[in-house]
Structure 1
Amino acid sequence: MHLIDVTNSYRDLVHSQLNSTNVNYVKVYSLGNTSVIYTESDKAIGIVLENHNRRVRKEETDFVIERLIKEKDPSYILTFDKSQHVIEIHIDK
C-alpha cells in the first residue's frame, strides 16, 4: 500500500477546511480507491478515510494510523458509518 499526496487536486476542499474550521493543516492522500483526508489543529488530529465503492478495510485503517500518526501507541477514537464507507479517526493532542 502507498499513500500518494493528492492535495493539489483538492484545492477547494483544502481552502474550505482552512477557512470554515479551526484546522491549520490539511493534506489529502490517495490510497488506491480510498481517499484519506488528514487535518490538524492545535487541539486534535482528524483523519477521514472514504471509499465510495466498498467498505474501508481494517488493513487500510491500520496502515494510515501507522504512517500518519507519529506517536508510538496513539490513543484514538474510531467512528464509522453503518456501511463502513467512511471512517473517522480522532486523536486529541
Structure 2
Amino acid sequence: MHLIDVTNTYRDLIERQLSATSSQYIKVYSLGNITVVYTETSTKIEIVLENHRRGIHEDEIQFVIKRLIHEDKIYNISMDQSRKIISITCDK
C-alpha cells in the first residue's frame, strides 16, 4: 500500500476549506480507491478516509494511522454503517 499525495488535484477544495474553517494545514492522499484527507487545526488532527465503491478494511485504516499519526497519540475512530467513510481524530 502506498499513500500518494494528490493535494494539487484538489486545490479549489483546499482553498475553500482553509478560508471557511479553522484548518491550518490540509493534505489529500490517494490510497488506491480510497481518498484520504488529512487536516490539522491548532489543537486537533482529523483524517477522513472515503471510498464510494466498498467498505474500508481494517488493515487500510491501520496503515493510514501508522503513516500519518505518531504512535504515542490516542485517537478516536468513527465510521458509517457501510464503512465507506471513516473519521479519525486526535489531539495534537
Which category of TM-score, normalised to the shorter sequence, fits these structures? over 0.9
Q: What's the TM-score, normalizing by structure 2?
A: 0.96
Q: State how far apart, in whole Å, the 2-side matches of 1:46 and 1:68 are.
A: 10
Q: Deviations over 1:29-50 (max 9, x none)?
A: 0000000000001110000000
Letter in 2 for 1:46: E
Matched, 1:78 2:77: yes
Q: What is the CA-CA distance between 1:74 and the residue it aligns to? A: 1.9
Q: State how far apart, in whole Å, the 1-side matches of 2:72 and 2:42 are.
A: 20
Which runs of structure 1 show a deviation greater than 4 angstroms over 4 or more consecutive aligned residues?
Answer: none
Matched, 1:9 2:9: yes
Q: What's the TM-score, normalizing by structure 1?
A: 0.95
Gapped regions of structure 2 (runs ≥ 5)? none
Q: Deviations over 1:14-34 (max 9, x none)?
A: 111101110100000000000
Q: How many residues matched?
A: 92
Gapped regions of structure 1 (runs ≥ 5)? none
Identity %: 54
